Amino acid sequence: MESLTAAYLTVYALSIASVIAVLISVTALSRKTGTTLSISRVARLTKDEVRRVSTLEPVFLMHVSIALGIGLSILIAVLDPIFFVFPALRTLLLILSVPLVAGLVAAFGWRLRRYIQSKRFEKEFAHTNEAFSRASSLMQLILMLAIALTTTELVLSWLPSLATVDAGLNIIRNGLVVVYYTKPSVNLIQNFDMPLPSMRLPFRLSEVMEGKVDASQVTMGATKLSEFAPFEKLSYNSCVEIGACESACPATAAGRQLSPRVLVRKLDLLQKEQGESAEPMTSVTEDEVWSCTSCGACVHACPVAVKHVDLVYDLRRGLVNAGKLDKEKATLLQNLTRSQNPYGFDSRSRGDWAKENGVDTFSTNPKAEYLYWVGCVSSFDQRAQNVAKSLGKILKSAGVSFAILGSEEACTGDPARRLGEEGRYQELAGQNIEKMNAYGVKKIVTTCPHCFNSIKNEYPLFGGNYEVVHHTQLISELIREGRIKVAPERVKEVSVTLHDACYAARYNNIFDEPREALAATGARMHEMHRNKDKTFCCGAGGSNYWYKVPQQTSIAGIRTEEASRTGAATIATECPFCLSMFEDSTKVAGTKMGVRDVAEIVAEGLIEAELSQPQES
């Protein structure tokens, strides 16, 4: 009996030591990386985790089941000696363990499926070798082992006679946490609330031009691992191959070479093998880098806050700086330089669509309340111009004072920045900001989520501070205020499914307004299963609209099929890029579904205003 007691006390002491080791490991890395471990920050993280679990996304249910399961098993192990004094406490904790065990079993099943899918992707699409495959398999098997150990611990907790065995398993699992999960934990604490639209600013063009910064000292992207920002290095070191990013990625789904999981792990393994002097493009392929649509699905899906998109941006910057661009990408940048638009069209024709529709320019109406930022697609693409005309009709019907810049508007620079040409982006942004500030612009409405994101979230860094609204937000507001009225009987659309644009929904949390506007038209809403912040990209983002990459199927085609399965007659869009992509994909698919912007649908049903309905091109 004494020997059993001694054995138990020894194992218990080691178990407590393993718990302390976990705490020391997390604390030490937090200090090294400058990560705040304050109570308020942990509380914010907890609140964010609860919010994400409430969405019932499988990956976050899995993530929380594992986190809570580990936490509860540690708590039970630490409190085990006092259960003899307070048996009711054991009973309470054991009751709490039941749903967690169920969650852990489901998590193990999910992990097993993801493992099989990841091996299939590596075999069919990924540029990997046997060493990568072994390391990847090991990491995924370790995660499954941690789940299995935690599940077993909680089950054995019901059997006090096996307390020594339970504590032994606790020691092994805590050892895995120290070795493999310290970095993911710290990365989550550090980056969980980093906004998706935030983008690393490598330099300020104005400071370089003014001579405040030596141009030769400016680092363009990451041509070596050492040139990634600290938070980016922590990100790629933190991937434990959960696979949620790969499951959510439209590029992966389309059979492109990109898997966010594989890309991040390649960087991590390269650092381990060759150090930070290694060149990332010796391991990552150019097709992987260019395949990203910057939709942010990977970042949104990752439960440990890995910043895949930021890594892609810096890899692209490195490629652009090295001149590794094909004809399509080079032409895009040349067009932006020569004509201030991606098409290369004469900028003087930018506002031609507005002249026949009686839309003022700021040069003739400088006191307009809103600047309507039209964007390149709606300025030059004949189909998308009907969206601009429709918004103009709505604003006039509501009595909203607005004007456009016309030929004075230039591309926001978003295509250049997403491609990796930071200098060209800042040049265009500076020109636009200077022009808008000269006119005293205060409020901006735009039909393009990419323009919206740039002007709202990025221009303030360069002196452009404006109140920016997406057109669906303004339309919804005008309907709520009764400034415009819609007659449902005038609207052709009887049933619609809304495609949430990535840069409106996932990047900027615009969810309800487009739905409210569509509801006012009387159309029946049919939601796709991937909607709002879980939306699936149309394939145009990340400048992908302007060039092609190898793929097995079309991203827009995948989304069109999802839309078709809802039974809706029309795909409602809120982005000119999405509109164009679905116009093409529905024709290729041979579906009879229509494609129309929210503004077009609302404008069709307007009761007020005697203006003629703009004709679709």
DSSP character string of 373-434: E--HHHHH-HHHHHHHHHHHHHHHHHT--EEB-GGG----SHHHHHHT-HHHHHHHHHHHHH
- Residue 424: predicted pLDDT: 96
Does the structure show a pLDDT above 70 at 146?
yes
| Backbone dihedral region for residue 100 (phi beyond 0: left; psi -120 to 50: alpha; all else: beta) | alpha
Give the confidence band of 338 by pLDDT, cuts at 50, 70, 90: very high
Domain end call among 260, 294, 321: 321
Lowest-pLDDT choice from 4-13, 346-355, 423-432: 4-13
What angle in degrees, to the nearest 10, is found between the helix axes of 230-237 and 260-274? 100
Task: Over range 580-593, report the average pLDDT.
Answer: 94
**Looking at the structure, do residues 365 and 235 belong to the same domain, yes or no?**
no
- Residue 608: predicted pLDDT: 64
- Residue 617: predicted pLDDT: 35
DSSP-assigned beta bridge partners for residue 450? none
Sign, CA torsion 133/135/138/143: negative
pLDDT in tens, 397-456: 999 999 999 999 999 999 999 999 999 999 999 999 999 999 999 999 999 999 999 999
Q: Is residue 129 part of a domain?
A: yes
Q: Is residue 612 part of a domain?
A: no
**Looking at the structure, do residues 238 and 350 belong to the same domain, yes or no?**
no
Residue matched to tokens 């609204």? 469
**Looking at the structure, do residues 370 and 471 belong to the same domain, yes or no?**
yes
**Looking at the structure, do residues 64 and 157 belong to the same domain, yes or no?**
yes
**Looking at the structure, do residues 532 and 454 belong to the same domain, yes or no?**
yes
Q: Tell which wins on pLDDT, 135 or 10.
A: 135
**Looking at the structure, do residues 398 and 532 belong to the same domain, yes or no?**
yes
Give the confidence band of 348 by pLDDT, cuts at 50, 70, 90: very high
* DSSP line for 554-574: -HHHHHHHHHHHTT-SEEEES
Residue matched to tokens 């089941």? 65
DSSP tag of 544: G
Exposure pattern of 521-553 as b/e (b: 16+ CB <10 Å)? bebeebebebbbbbbbbbbbbbbbbbbebebee
- Residue 356: predicted pLDDT: 83
434 Cβ partners below 8 Å, 6+ apart?
Answer: none
Does the structure show a pLDDT above 80 at 503?
yes
- Residue 285: predicted pLDDT: 95
Q: What are phi and psi of 351, to 5 degrees?
A: -105, 15
Say how many Å lie between the first and final Cα of the chain, rounded: 89
pLDDT in tens, 186-212: 999 999 999 998 888 998 888 888 888
DSSP-assigned beta bridge partners for residue 467? 443
Q: Is residue 387 part of a domain?
A: yes
Give the confidence band of 4 by pLDDT, cuts at 50, 70, 90: low
Q: Is residue 201 part of a domain?
A: no
**Looking at the structure, do residues 106 and 151 belong to the same domain, yes or no?**
yes
Q: Is residue 245 part of a domain?
A: yes
Number of H helices and E strands in the chain, helices first, is 27, 8
Percent of the chain at pLDDT above 70?
Answer: 98
pLDDT in tens, 285-337: 999 999 999 999 999 999 999 999 999 999 999 999 999 999 999 999 999 99
Instruction: Give CA torsion, residues 148, 152, 154, 158, to 10 deg.
Output: 170
Domain end call among 295, 321, 347: 321
pTM, rounded to two decimals: 0.92
pLDDT in tens, 163-180: 788 888 889 999 999 999
- Residue 615: predicted pLDDT: 41
Domain that holds residue 295: 211-321
Burial (CB < 10 A; 0-12, 13-18, 19+), residue 581, is: buried
Calculate the average pLDDT of the chain. Answer: 92
Task: Over range 247-261, report the average pLDDT.
Answer: 95
321 Cβ partners below 8 Å, 6+ apart?
Answer: 220, 221, 223, 420
Percent of the chain at pLDDT above 90?
Answer: 72
515 Cβ partners below 8 Å, 6+ apart?
Answer: 498, 525
23 Cβ partners below 8 Å, 6+ apart?
Answer: none
Q: Is residue 609 part of a domain?
A: no
Which two structure tokens, joined as six digits, stand for 250? 């439209």
**Looking at the structure, do residues 336 and 444 belong to the same domain, yes or no?**
yes
Q: What is the largest CA-CA distance in the chain?
A: 97
β-pairing, 402-403 vs 524-525, is unpaired
**Looking at the structure, do residues 410 and 527 belong to the same domain, yes or no?**
yes
Alpha-carbon gap, residue 155 to 181, rounded angstroms: 23
DSSP tag of 455: I
CA 575 from centroid of its chain's CA atoms? 17
Task: Over range 49-63, report the average pLDDT.
Answer: 77
Q: What are phi and psi of 103, to 5 degrees?
A: -65, -40
- Residue 1: predicted pLDDT: 54
Q: What domain count does the chain have? A: 3
Give the confidence band of 72 by pLDDT, cuts at 50, 70, 90: confident
Q: What are phi and psi of 9, to 5 degrees?
A: -65, -35
If we measure between CA atoms, which residue out of 471, 465, 464, 466 comes closest to residue 446?
471
Exposure pattern of 114-151 as b/e (b: 16+ CB <10 Å)? bbeebeebbeebbebeeebeebbeebbebbeebbbbbb
Does the structure show a pLDDT above 80 at 161?
no
**Looking at the structure, do residues 126 and 183 belong to the same domain, yes or no?**
yes
Give the confidence band of 3 by pLDDT, cuts at 50, 70, 90: low
Give the confidence band of 182 by pLDDT, cuts at 50, 70, 90: very high
Does the structure show a pLDDT above 80 at 54?
no
Q: Residue 282 belongs to a domain with what CATH number?
A: 1.10.1060.10
**Cα angle: 333, vertex 339, 341; to 5 degrees:** 65
**371: three-class secondary structure by DSSP:** strand
**Looking at the structure, do residues 178 and 230 belong to the same domain, yes or no?**
no
Question: CB 206: neighbour CB atoms within 10 A?
Answer: 14
Q: Is residue 284 part of a domain?
A: yes
Q: What are phi and psi of 372, to 5 degrees?
A: -85, 110
DSSP tag of 612: P
CA 100 from centroid of its chain's CA atoms? 29
**Looking at the structure, do residues 163 and 229 belong to the same domain, yes or no?**
no
Domain end call among 292, 321, 350: 321
pLDDT in tens, 453-468: 999 999 999 999 999 9
Q: Is residue 198 part of a domain?
A: no
If we measure between CA atoms, which residue out of 91, 144, 88 comes closest to residue 115?
144
β-pairing, 402-403 vs 443-446, is unpaired
